[in-house]
Amino acid sequence: MRVLQGIPVSSGIVIGHVFVLDHDPHRVARWTVGADRVEAELERLDRAFADAIAAIDEVYAEASDEMGVEAAKIFLFHKGMLADPSLIGPIREMIRHERVNAEHAVVVAFDALAEAFRRAKDSAFRTKTDDIRDLTNRLLDHLMGSGPARLADLLHPTVIVATDLTPSQTAGFDRDKVVGFVTDLGGRTSHTAIVATALGYPAVVGCRGATAAAKPGQTVIVDGDRGLILLDPDEAEITKYRGYIEQQRTYKLSLAEVAGLPSVTRDGVPITLLGNVEFPEECDSILAQGGEGVGLYRSEFLYLSQDTIPTEEDHYLAYADCVRRLDGLPLTVRTVDLGSDKYASSDRRPRERNPALGLRSIRYSLADKPKFQKQLRAVLRASALGPVKIMFPMVTTVGELRHAKMVLRDVMEDLEEEGVAFDRGIRVGVMIEVPSAALIAGSLAAEVDFFSIGTNDLVQYTLAVDRTNEQVAGLYQPVHAGVLQLIRGVVRAAAKEGDIEVSCCGEAAGEIDYALLLIGLGLRRLSVPGSAISHLKRLVRSVTVQQCERVARKVRTFDSEIQAAAYLRDRTRKLVPEAFDGRAAELRD
């Protein structure tokens, strides 16, 4: 048995069989094919291409059903590449003339293609290198795999082990077979992690050495609560973990009872619990968990899951779908937050030296007004169907916010002139996710109807810690006194400078310890992954605001984040023991 520690990003435990998704191309052997075997080798190659195309067709059909046609379009692009004769032609030539095995010829050809893409002046090509890696792996699966090594043939509950995964890969897994995943790279709030939570896969990221250590077909336990993976576990561990799984099942059942109850503290203060979504389909689970609407729709996922730039209609259909599913509850559409770690394959910009500090989020939208206007038109049109709010991400100055609002006003005037219906009183908000915005919250409050504090980025920018980098994950501390001071300042400014609504929508708000702290800091609205809603509702119903405030006051006095986190954990456990029964209690020991 081998135990590896990574970063827990999506809760739950699964026991499954390893499927190593990444083939290290350098480990693919080269051998010479006898003259009489060349034709057979070419046939093997053709079959692998045909099988890969058929498998993509299936993935496309399933992904369209589960995530919608737009989100599944990336697979059409993959299919188009494999069907292009200029790709397979040189591979066939190599096998025929150099008499090498098909795997080797595939790796050489795709390596050359990836290199050409990487060097291309046009950044649209450079962003395609991940897709080429995807396709190389897919072809190698069909050439080298047999039995359980082929994803399409998997019979068992399967755990994907990979160096890294893209959101489209994660969303494309067959959810009847794949039960969890583990990656070597990534941080707690990287967007692969966010997709894992959205789709309900227990997951561990930043688990260095996992791909090298895991063997195809091996039994693995993924402990998404503790961030552990156990390769080839012994019987005693399997029995212990089966017990945990049972405890979790019972706990989830008990949460179902809470879902329909009001989210009110013991002393009668309502705490609004909303959901974060990346795909419209997720709205259903937000409602099922007892959420009161969507506090954050990450609209950039429209760009990330398709190869072409979304049209106004693409935007509109997605928002209208959410509004319909939410059935009268509010939808907050955040305008696209592209850049940093989220690049659309249709993006044609040159690569930036420091993308987290570059042309991302609202800066990106303001730099491409026609694209921005298209999105705003769609959001406004959807606002005629039900309650919709607009939120601008990563605003750093008042000028930037005014600029965005001016574009919105222009779009409203156009729609008026065209006689298109929309909500003229649509509420407009900003994300507070950089220290400068938090520090000028008073001025921003005068300009908007609401704030949403994004701790994922606020922590990253306040502490100068890359949220996607597993090497500095230990420094990523949402309880840092500096972060808490900023949050407190924002809550106060929101109340003082305009009495506007303020919520928190970072991943940390979904953790019960941190949610308790946020309530203590004055927050009354939390927007969290759907899976966390009923868990938080139980917390809310078990505490008084005064208790939360006392805890928050104390946490802010620690100069060590480790001590602050330990104190917070300890107090939360004492105040809400019912949220820690069974397995959860053991986790906290």
Q: Does 447 bind ligand PEP (CB under 6 A)?
A: no
151 versus 473: smaller Cβ distance to Mg ion: 473
CA distance 386 to 126: 40
Q: Does 506 bind ligand PEP (CB under 6 A)?
A: yes
Query: What residues between 75 and 94 interact with ligand PEP by CB under 6 A?
Result: none
283: nearest Cα among 302, 271, 301, 296? 296
Binding piece for ligand PEP, criterion CB under 6 A, among 27-35, 152-160, 454-462, 472-480: 454-462
Q: Which of Mg ion, ligand PEP, none is residue 190 near (CB under 5 to 8 Å by kind)?
A: none
By beta-carbon distance, which residue lies closest to ligand PEP?
454
User: Considering the complex, what minimum distance in angstroms separates the CB of residue 336 from Mg ion?
Assistant: 12
69 versus 356: smaller Cβ distance to ligand PEP: 356
223 versus 457: smaller Cβ distance to Mg ion: 457
User: Considering the complex, what minimum distance in angstroms separates the CB of residue 430 from Mg ion?
Assistant: 12
Residues in contact with Mg ion by CB under 5 A are: 433, 454, 457
Cβ of 575: how many Cβ atoms within 10 Å?
A: 18
User: Considering the complex, what minimum distance in angstroms separates the CB of residue 433 from Mg ion?
Assistant: 5
Q: Does 341 bind ligand PEP (CB under 6 A)?
A: no
User: Considering the complex, what minimum distance in angstroms separates the CB of residue 345 from ligand PEP?
Assistant: 18
Beta bridge partners of 342: 339
Cβ contacts of 21 within 8 Å, gap of 6 or more? 137, 151, 160, 161, 162, 165, 169
Q: Does 456 bind ligand PEP (CB under 6 A)?
A: yes
77: nearest Cα among 131, 123, 142, 137? 131
* Helices of type H across 389-463: 398-418, 435-439, 441-445, 455-463
Kindly report the backbone phi and psi dihedral angles of residue 528, in degrees, each rounded to the nearest multiple of 5, phi listed first. Answer: -140, 165
CA distance 302 to 308: 10
26 is catalytic: no
Q: Which of 11, 158, 365, 455 is close enough to bind ligand PEP by CB under 6 A?
A: 455
Cβ contacts of 252 within 8 Å, gap of 6 or more? none
Query: What residues between 271 and 330 interact with ligand PEP by CB under 6 A?
Result: 296, 298
16: alpha, beta or left, given left = phi > 0 and alpha = psi -120 to 50?
beta
Q: Which of ligand PEP, Mg ion, none is residue 505 near (CB under 5 to 8 Å by kind)?
A: ligand PEP
Two tokens, residue 324: 């319909």
505 is catalytic: yes
User: Considering the complex, what minimum distance in angstroms separates the CB of residue 393 from Mg ion?
Assistant: 6
User: Considering the complex, what minimum distance in angstroms separates the CB of residue 312 from Mg ion?
Assistant: 24
14 versus 362: smaller Cβ distance to ligand PEP: 362
Q: What residue ranges in 117-236 does DSSP mark as E strands? A: 158-162, 178-183, 203-205, 219-223, 228-231
Cβ contacts of 431 within 8 Å, gap of 6 or more? 334, 391, 392, 393, 394, 395, 437, 451, 452, 453, 454, 457, 505
Q: Which residues are catalytic?
A: 191, 505
Interface with ligand PEP (CB under 6 A): 189, 296, 298, 337, 433, 454-457, 505-506
